[in-house]
Structure 1
Amino acid sequence: MKRSKKVLALAVIFLLVSTMFLGACSNDTADDTKEPQTDENSEGTGDELAEAEVDIFQFKVEIAEKLQEAAREFEAENPNVKVNIETVGGGDDYGAALRAKFQSGQEPDIYNVGGPQDVEDWMSKLEDLSDEPWVDQALDGVLSGVTVEDKVYALPFAIEGYGFIYNKAIFEDAGIDVADIKDYSSLESAVKELDSKIKAGDLEDDYPLLEAVFSYPAKETWVTGLHTSNVALSQEFDSSLDSFDADKVAFEHGDGLKALIDLQADYSPYADSKAKLNAVDYATQVDEGIALERVAIIQQGNWIYGGVNDIDENVAQKLDILPMPIAGAKEDSIPVGVPMYWTVNKNSEDADKAASKAFLNWLYTSEKGKEYVVNEFFFIPPLKGYDNLEPKDSLGQAVKRYAEAGKTTPWVFMGYPTGWGMDALGVEIQKYFAGEVTWEELISNSQAKWEEMR
């Protein structure tokens, strides 16, 4: 079910980010054919839905608690409906867990897909959501990866951006001006300068736990095999649809990717024993790393804000985002895209499907739901109609700043062959750190796996 290259124009990420903040939130757009749902007509009244039970299987651990709270609000307005939520993510493989869930016969009513490759893999289970009220409120480009033959099969979670999240105070106290970091060369120089100050003990009084510049979680192959690789491969492919259509991967910027990976490893606590990076997980990097000011920079996205804020509000407010530059390519930008999509199981009971659709519509278009999306989940909304709900957290504001400046690159990893990023490339990176393969072998092995898995 390969898509025509003509569809690619719909997926150009520039359209997404250029309209996201520059007027796209207006409800008076000429091409809208439906009015946005208001608080009055999108929240349940208690007698609109038949008795139903909605089972949600979702991946985003950062919102698990607040999503439960939102579900209780929805139930209060729709007492005939029970909403159950199971979260599998973080260090676990959501895709594998989802397949196991379906194979067990315990099929969820609402679950997550990641873009064009997932849409192909799950097509037999996807409900057509084209007539849902939120569809015409979607920002330009966010539905292209989940649209097939003019039918929309999923609702985007959010707009997210990632890069090198850093502690502004540490850089300021080290006398390093981040305004000078515009490409790989200037980033490398800043990292070396900060490393020398850490090792000399110059920052010890203010940051007694600070031990290294970076923490790189090689155990999390979604970080390495998906997000890190995307920085290089988004220079090779124009969109997730482009990578989805590709039978081969050239690694045109393989040297730049190596430099970026080596930089994070060489200035981590395990610079002299890189195999130990393979045991570093998300919690070590985020909760026990940047949140405690044990490291100054991590590769992550705006989704970490809530978790860091729960640990230390002061540290959370110090965070900002630096680019992840690939030398010789677009070096002053961050990847911005849709992390995952909500979809409905087409094989669920009719009452459960109706309640599932109502819940998603309530969550993203009602006033109460929108408050959760922006102020509790810390999401940058993928829909229009959020005029008065600007991101308040430091990382959401950083993503907005890059988007407004047009300094973004697309997320193309959603079009990788199923499992390739995590199970092939991510594992090869672990072998590289363990000294089991050379970089050249990593590239050739990963290229062969792409062709095989495609």
Structure 2
Amino acid sequence: MQKKASLLCLLMAFSVLIAACGSGNRTESTDASSSGSEQTVKITLLNSKSEVQEQLEEAVNVFHHDHPNIEIEILTTGNGQSPFEKASQLYAAGNPATISMLDPADVEQFKDRILDLSGEKWVADAIDNSMTVVDGKVLDFPFAVEGFGFIYNKRVLDEAVGGSFDPTSIQTRDGLKNLFMQIEAAGKQALHISPLDWSLGAHFLNFLYADQSQDYAQVETFIEKLRTGNADVAGNAVFNGLMDTFDLMKEHNSDKKSPLTATYDKGPELIGNGEVGLWFMGNWAWPNIQAFDPEGEYGFLPVPISNNASDYGNTQIATAVTKRLVVDKERSTPDQQAAAKQFLEWLVYESNGQNFLVNKASIIPAFKNIALEPRDPLSKSIKDYMNRGKTVVGMTSLPSDHWSVLGASMQKYLANVIDRAGLAKEIEDYWKNVK
């Protein structure tokens, strides 16, 4: 009997031990489950601003340091590939980026595949008209305010004019022509034209629309006439004024003999080394110029389209929110979507995020709460034009293939393959076929 009791006690003790062990396993399992949210979440970001690739890679490393449970891999668009093409390609492959950097006109085409960001904190701090809103939903994050026109190297222009160059002195095409001649007389080349379809089609030709009127409703009316085939481009005063200026640019182009051979990289090298005085480009180019001339003084000149200083566009540069970030909802997990939102908040509200935008990437933020002033001369120049009300509304709603199709038309005009009438016809034909 005593043996039986002892055996029973032993069995009971063994049962308690097993129960304790089982209880311990369950506790460990619960802890692992609760720590699942702390496991690393990996997301991807499609970058379509190649000029800030290095800075963006540095930024995601800093973000990972600030938020160790989130890793971001940077994807890039191919050479000559539009953000729309790359994003579409990734969706077709069933592997879209968690965050995609798109051109504004592209956003609505992905509206059924991207996250509604209306509830995000930064929406209230974004500047007016900076986000794409469809059916009351905020579809994108305004990444960058940018401006474009003629970038000038002040050192070169000071030598050319024999004193301190005043950028407000150039208000007409003849004024620009005289400056070109002064630069060349000083032994330098006047201007560099980057023959890239996005520069010619998305930026230079942008003035055809933006300069139509200070009244934006008139700009929209002109575009609607283009769509319906009722616009006479060849007879349009802004078009002819703009192309008269482009003809002047062609005449003084540093690559006049082979205008289509230059790469983007040649522009910052020429102007940064003081070999040319002017380069048609935007403030996104500062990191590239800085590599050649980190202490130089630079600024912007408008692209005058007439010899009447009071004509709209002659004393203004174009500015716009040119890049938007969207978050995928089709393939991304809730954890990935949350991580993407955290990265966007980091850009707006954390010091390291703001530092990346303003000081590292030389971006003018689209958020009123960011008090950092730009340090680079190009962004400072744009802010000065903005503060003086000397800007035109850069068109960001152009169709996604506008820069590739009409950029190619501008390249043909640059290389004298087509004349002005031919260019006007290609512009009209393009718009008639826009869906």
Q: Normalising TM by the smaller chain, what interval?
A: 0.7 to 0.9
Taking the TM superposition and a 5 Å limit, the aligned residue runs for 1:245-324 are: 247-248=227-228, 250-251=232-233, 252=236, 253-271=238-256, 273=257, 276-286=258-268, 288-314=269-295, 317-324=296-303
* Closer/same/farther in 2, CA of residues 90 and 267 from structure 1, 3 Å limit: farther
The one-letter code of the counterpart of 2:314 is E
Residue in 2 that maps onto 1:339: 322
Residue in 2 that maps onto 1:325: 304
Residue in 1 that maps onto 2:394: 411
Residue in 2 that maps onto 1:230: 206
2:55–2:360 Cα contact (<8 Å) kept: yes
Distance in 1, Cα, partners of 2:181 & 2:248: 10
Range with bigger deviation, 181-190 or 89-98: 89-98
Larger Rg: 2
Distance in 2, Cα, partners of 1:187 & 1:90: 33
1:244–1:417 Cα contact (<8 Å) kept: no
Percent identical: 26
Taking the TM superposition and a 5 Å limit, the aligned residue runs for 1:117-196 are: 117-143=105-131, 146-175=132-161, 177-178=165-166, 179-196=168-185
Match of 1:300, SS state, is strand
Shift of 1:436: 2.5
Taking the TM superposition and a 5 Å limit, the aligned residue runs for 1:87-126 are: 87-88=76-77, 91-115=80-104, 117-126=105-114
Match of 1:213, SS state, is strand
Distance in 1, Cα, partners of 2:222 & 2:76: 28
Match of 1:86, SS state, is strand
* Number of residue pairs the alignment of both structures matches: 384
Deviations 1:259-283 (A, max 9, x none): 2221221101333x3xx21122211
Residue in 2 that maps onto 1:432: 413
1:244–1:416 Cα contact (<8 Å) kept: no
Deviations 1:197-248 (A, max 9, x none): 32xxxxxxxxxxx4x2111111x11110110011221023728977876625
Distance in 2, Cα, partners of 1:71 & 1:375: 15
Alignment of 1:368 with 2:352, yes or no, is yes
Distance in 2, Cα, partners of 1:296 & 1:97: 35
* Closer/same/farther in 2, CA of residues 242 and 373 from structure 1, 3 Å limit: farther
Deviations 1:172-204 (A, max 9, x none): 112264342122221122212322332xxxxxx
The one-letter code of the counterpart of 1:159 is V
2:156–2:276 Cα contact (<8 Å) kept: no
Residue in 1 that maps onto 2:341: 357
Match of 1:415, SS state, is coil
Residue in 1 that maps onto 2:18: none
1:91–1:282 Cα contact (<8 Å) kept: no
Distance in 2, Cα, partners of 1:385 & 1:69: 23
* Closer/same/farther in 2, CA of residues 289 and 155 from structure 1, 3 Å limit: same
Shift of 1:89: 6.7
Distance in 1, Cα, partners of 2:137 & 2:58: 31
The one-letter code of the counterpart of 2:277 is A
Alignment of 1:396 with 2:379, yes or no, is yes
The one-letter code of the counterpart of 1:97 is K
C-alpha RMSD of the superposition? 2.3
Match of 2:185, SS state, is helix
The one-letter code of the counterpart of 2:240 is D
Distance in 2, Cα, partners of 1:90 & 1:321: 27
Shift of 1:250: 4.8
Distance in 2, Cα, partners of 1:245 & 1:131: 34
TM-score by length of 1: 0.79
Residue in 1 that maps onto 2:13: none
Deviations 1:59-90 (A, max 9, x none): 11222222222212222233322211123377
Deviations 1:99-151 (A, max 9, x none): 22222222110002222x312322122210000111000012212xx111221
1:232–1:257 Cα contact (<8 Å) kept: yes
Distance in 1, Cα, partners of 2:174 & 2:191: 17
